[in-house]
Amino acid sequence: MGNRVGGKTLRFSREPRITSRYTLVGPMEGRGPYALDFSEILPDDSLGQKTAEKTERLMLELAIEKTLQQHGTKIQDLDFLIAGDLLNQITTSSLAASTHTAPFIGVYGACSTFAEALALGAVLLHGDFASQVLVGTASHYQTAERQFRYPIELNVQHLKTNQMTVTGAAAAILSYAERGPRITHATIGSVVDMGLKDPHDMGSAMAPAAFQTIKQHLADTNRTLGDYDIVLTGDLGKQGRKMLRLLLERDKFEGLERLQDGGSQIYGDKQSVGAGGSGAACVAVMTLGYALNCLDSAKAKRILVVATGALLSALTVLQGESIPCIAHAIALEQ
């Protein structure tokens, strides 16, 4: 296996690049500290659609269209469209894909979906199976609330450990065009289930998955946290972020000041959002917006994105199952 290093990490020696990207977010995300990092802030969270599901789909379609436009790529020249989302049977992605002719690969990894798509896109390029791959995802606060929790009309109070699903969408084109941040490594995580069952504290459930993937990635690449300017976890939220730090400290990892968490940071500190953001779009917009802007502006040379996902469903919660979690790491360089 020439394209692996260490035990589980994929090494892309012909480094695929992210050669076009587009992010759009809802009004609340636009009031956070990363407003300038996103391509577009929507004026409202409905876009004139009759249902939030239609809005979510429209956001993904817009992100796909804009990314293609910027790249000067026609949809028929795309080799693959890889997408997934939180809705049952990833219908946001399938319906958005139905307006396109590109071969469609549907993926699911909850809030880690975008990183899974990035990794598979890089594999297809590096393996010479594609020359242009589009990856995308979307989520919407209202669709996630009513599917996983309660309809927002009930106005159910949230706990401090609850996370707010990010309203937004993101799409990127991977290719070997000349400019754009490079994907150098991907570490696909295994499923970690520590027996936690509280769907109102998914950060604590996901932290061990993030820890395991970070540990694996650093061991495989013979790197330290300090070798990355930023280690951006996805969606751990304030509670999960604390847990991850404890796990890393316990194992004497150094360089913890490099840790940032997209979920904890996306809304800033002034909005009432429990432990922070989550949702498939969260790590996607923070990666394509914030992280890649840091690379573009040379604020960072090397970033590790660690996207986490809680692989539960409303039914597994009702049936008393614990929450299986996963994290995938993607190493990016200017």
From 64-72, 80-88, 160-168, 270-278, span contacting a copy of itself (CB under 8 A): 80-88
Distance CA 196, CA 206 (A): 9
Distance CA 237, CA 22 (A): 24
| Rounded least distance, CB 312 to a copy of itself, Å | 7
Determine if 153 is a binding residue for a copy of itself (CB under 8 A).
no
Binding a copy of itself (rule: CB under 8 A), the pick from 16, 26, 32, 84 is: 84
Determine if 38 is a binding residue for a copy of itself (CB under 8 A).
no
| Rounded least distance, CB 116 to a copy of itself, Å | 6
Q: Is 100 exposed, middle or buried (0-12, 13-18, 19+ CB in 10 A)?
A: middle
- 117 contacts 83 by C-beta, under 8 angstroms: yes
- 256 contacts 245 by C-beta, under 8 angstroms: yes
User: Tokens standing for 261?
Assistant: 């968490």
Determine if 192 is a binding residue for a copy of itself (CB under 8 A).
yes
| Rounded least distance, CB 125 to a copy of itself, Å | 9
Nearest alpha carbon to residue 171 among 98, 278, 80, 87: 80
Distance CA 143, CA 166 (A): 11
Q: Residue written as tokens 């917009």?
A: 285
Determine if 174 is a binding residue for a copy of itself (CB under 8 A).
no
Which residue number, 25 or 310, has a Cβ lying nearer to a copy of itself? 310
Cα–Cα distances in angstroms (integers) from residue 266 to residues 4, 30, 76, 167, 188, in the given order:
33, 9, 34, 11, 24
Determine if 72 is a binding residue for a copy of itself (CB under 8 A).
no
Determine if 218 is a binding residue for a copy of itself (CB under 8 A).
no
Determine if 255 is a binding residue for a copy of itself (CB under 8 A).
no
| Rounded least distance, CB 237 to a copy of itself, Å | 19
Determine if 282 is a binding residue for a copy of itself (CB under 8 A).
no
Determine if 321 is a binding residue for a copy of itself (CB under 8 A).
yes
Which residue number, 39 or 137, has a Cβ lying nearer to a copy of itself? 137
Determine if 91 is a binding residue for a copy of itself (CB under 8 A).
yes
Binding a copy of itself (rule: CB under 8 A), the pick from 6, 106, 255, 268 is: 106
Q: How many CB atoms lie within 10 A of CB 109?
A: 24
Span between the terminal Cα atoms of the chain, in Å: 26
- 111 contacts 310 by C-beta, under 8 angstroms: yes
Amino acid at 228: Y
Binding a copy of itself (rule: CB under 8 A), the pick from 40, 65, 79, 229 is: 79
Determine if 124 is a binding residue for a copy of itself (CB under 8 A).
yes
Q: Is 183 helix (H, G, I), strand (E, B) or coil?
A: strand
> Which residue ranges make up the site for a copy of itself (CB under 8 A)?
1-4, 8, 10, 51, 53-54, 79-81, 84, 86-91, 94-95, 97-98, 100-110, 116, 120, 123-124, 126-131, 147, 187-193, 311-316, 319, 321, 324, 326
